Amino acid sequence: MTEEAIPLCNSRDLVDGGLAVGFDVVYGGQTCRAFAIRFEGRVHAFLNRCTHVAMEMDYQEGRFFDDTGQWLLCATHGAVYRPDTGECAGGPCRGGLVRIALSEHDGVVRWHTDWNLQPVAF
């Protein structure tokens, strides 16, 4: 399967340390929620799945950053992740978040498919 770039949102929708833009993907054959954020001027995306317990991390839709805007936080168990890499930074993590490739060009953020990451079929 060939990699494809799928439009996700306008660049202005992602603010440093602000709300994430959520989207659905098929990862390893299962439909999963994912999210895109902006941190230190760059866009990043991950599966919305804590590595401690495979459940969604946001405590309110789109809220992943802690109060400082410097860390991604699992609201259920307190696992903390680096927003630029998804690496575990503290708490009950078991590895890092699953990263999703993004690109940003001409005011549009796009996510990129991979062999095990595809769009949800309609």
Q: What is the pLDDT of residue 114?
A: 94
Rounded CA-CA distance 118/103 in Å is 16
**How many helices (H) does the chain have, and how many strands (E)?**
0, 11
Global pTM? 0.94
Residue with token string 């699992």: 74
- Terminal-residue alpha carbon distance, the chain: 18
Tens digit of pLDDT at every position of the chain (122 positions) = 568 999 999 999 999 999 999 999 999 999 999 999 999 999 999 999 988 877 889 878 899 999 999 999 998 888 999 999 999 999 888 889 999 999 999 999 999 999 999 999 86
Rounded CA-CA distance 104/91 in Å is 31
Rounded CA-CA distance 50/89 in Å is 13
- The domains located in the chain, with CATH, are 5-119 (2.102.10.10)
